Amino acid sequence: MLTTTAASVTTTIELGVSGELDLTRSAAFPADAAPVPAEPGTLRLAFPREGAWEHVGVFVRQRAPDAVSLEIAAPPGAADAVAGQVRRILSLDLDGGGFSSAVAGDPVVRTLRERNPGLRPMLFHSPYEAACWAVICARLRVGQAALLRRRLAERLGESVTVGGRTLLSFPAPARLATLDELPGLSQQKARRLVEIAGAAEAGALDAVSLLALPVEDALERVRALPGIGPFSAELVVVRGAGHPDVFPAHELRLHTVLAAAYGTGDVAELEEIAQRWRPYRSWAVALLRSVGAQDRAGQKL
């Protein structure tokens, strides 16, 4: 059963953009492979704000190449924190021009960058939601996982009106911790989600804390969670917290895309190639991953 968000105020905040941004292009490749239809240059988001976990809504508009407008519906005093979270979700916390410089010496990524100007990584709303997605989608097709995620939001999340549309916001940790069972979700996954909810409440999945750690330490912390293996830990740190410089050593589908582009499937060799993209390895991987999706739809790298 859907609930309704508590009283909130609407605040407009303008974000500057360093380097190129194409919001329409970036929003076509969300972290959970479930884009929300929107008009070009706009994006609607609904999520529990990290830390406080109240549900908020954000209507994003790209006003100009170097400017993004956020219309934020959130409790009084929360707008700046929400804007900071959105900045991370949209990968606006780094200079896109720095990425262009970092990959200038790699003809593959440089060419993809030129073909897809303004494409930035689109992240999960938080490491918490990324970890939950990793548990839900294990050994399931993406469509099945997306349906289960929606059922969880319908049962334990909130509905949020954003830009004239009603969106479902994923359950806050305290609500997810009450999960007993859900049709289609195994008891093991339900237990794991409850434990991840507890870890999020305790601050173990805080994005700022994860980004402050050395990458291997951040990955180790996330791997300690139930149901989170090496592949899922990379997903949480890179696509949840937004670490810009990680090569996913355990993402086999990505390695297939890289093998087609570079002529080798050897992980050690691919990691060596990825050194060219530092300190934006995660961004280069996101670009290659999204183009790999296009390639599977019939286009060429």
Per-residue pLDDT of the chain (301 residues; tens, 9 = 90+): 334 455 689 999 999 999 999 999 999 888 876 666 678 899 999 999 999 999 999 999 998 989 999 999 999 999 999 999 999 999 999 999 999 999 999 999 999 999 999 999 999 999 999 999 999 999 999 999 999 999 999 999 999 999 999 999 999 999 999 999 999 999 999 999 999 999 999 999 999 999 999 999 999 999 999 999 999 999 999 999 999 999 999 999 899 999 999 999 899 999 999 999 999 999 999 999 987 655 443 334 3
* pTM as predicted: 0.93
Q: Is it true that the peptide bond before 279 is cis, omega within 30 degrees of 0?
A: yes
Q: How far apart are CA 130 and CA 114, in angstroms?
A: 29
* Tokens describing residue 157: 């999340």
Quickly tell me which residue has 């499937």 as its tokens: 265
In one-letter notation, the amino acid at residue 259 is: A
Helix, strand, coil percent content, the chain, rounded in steps of 5 = 45, 15, 40
- Which among 32, 39, 76 has a CA at the least distance from the CA of 60? 39
| Residues in CB range of 299: below 8 A, 6 or more apart | 291
Beta bridge partners, 42, equal 61
**Helix (H/G/I), strand (E/B), else coil: 22:** coil
Q: What's the DSSP call for residue 239?
A: I
Q: Distance of alpha carbon 62 from its chain centroid, rounded? A: 19
Please give the backbone phi and psi of residue 158, each rounded to the nearest 5 degrees, phi first.
Answer: -135, 155
Please give the backbone phi and psi of residue 21, each rounded to the nearest 5 degrees, phi first.
Answer: -145, 130
Buried-exposed string 150-161: b where 16+ CB fall within 10 A, e elsewhere: ebbbeebbbbbb
Task: State the sign of the Cα–Cα–Cα–Cα dihedral 26, 237, 296, 185.
Answer: negative
